[in-house]
Amino acid sequence: MVLQKYENSLSNGNILYFASLYPLHMQLFKKRVALQQTLLNSSGTIGFVPTMGALHAGHTSLIQKATHENNLVVVSIFVNPTQFDQATDLQKYPQQLAQDLHIIEKINPQTLVFAPSIEEIYGDQVSSDNYFFDGLDQKMEGASRKGHFQGVATVVERLFRIVQPNTAYFGEKDFQQLLIIKKIVAQANLSIRVIGCPIVREEDGLAMSSRNQRLTSAQRAKASVLYKALCQAKEIFQNQNLHQANEYVSNLFELDPHMELDYFAICNEQTLTLAEDIKQQKIRAFIAVKLGDIRLIDNLAF
């Protein structure tokens, strides 16, 4: 089914009502003022799902949960430039607004979609604000992607202040990010519940990610090894010890010349400090692997 071009939509100021496949009450907002005016005139609870678009089943599970638990749902689609540590990665990030709108419409046609420009979020100064996260942003993803979490925190706080939701929904695939967002809410004294939602996986275990679209068929066949490695490491940890679990994952990726292990870490789930070899504490394993020029991450509760 072919979507109608944006030029054929019906325009009303800063709100676009999509014709053809979209009922007239599906609204796409480009400007914060128009979105905020609509939210002011609404009643009940607001659920918010921030995304960078290229929606997949992981995103749709968040939108479905938000729809089930709130009177009104806002989904933002914004590829945030300040969280990319490499310009080429930003340029290659998939953008498919028409397809994303079609996906959202099928879930809940009354969803409000906020797809601002970079200028609408950042004005004329595209830079991150400064945050202190007690070291949460300095390890794993933070160590590998300098400034990444400062950029994430900046855009999430700005979106939170625009939408002012009661509840916001994030996937646990980005578990480190989830902890940092909870820190933002606490530090800024925002009255927002942040809900972490389970990872949605492909049939072979690969965590759903917008970046998966960039994998070649050969790379896609290899990518499932991340989840298999996590599952095997969990079994080794439970039946043997932490050191052997770490050694297993390290050896596994040393044997594959096409995959580069960035990190594998078994950590305390709340502080992200490296776990001790004690089965009773609440811990989670995290992994990041580079497959060609595509970086994949995953995690699993132990």
Asked if 105 and 3 count as a contact pair (C-beta separation under 8 A), the reply is no
Handedness of CA 66, 67, 72, 75 (dihedral sign): positive
Concatenating the DSSP letter of every residue in 197-254 gives: EPPPB-TTSPBP-GGGGG--HHHHHHHTHHHHHHHHHHHHHHHS-HHHHHHHHHHHHH
User: Any residues with CB less than 8 A from the CB of 5 and at least 6 apart, and which?
Assistant: none
Strands 15-17 and 27-29, by their bridges, are antiparallel
Active-site hit among 25, 56, 59, 68: 59
- Give me the helix-helix angle, 57-69 and 97-107, nearest 10°: 40
Has 68 been annotated as catalytic? no
Strand ranges inside 202-241, DSSP E: none
- Which pair of structure tokens corresponds to residue 36? 């905020």
3-state secondary structure of 112: strand
Comparing CA positions, the residue from 83, 175, 171, 181 lying closest to residue 133 is: 181
Query: How many whole angstroms from its chain centre is CA 293?
Result: 19
Active site positions, annotated: 59
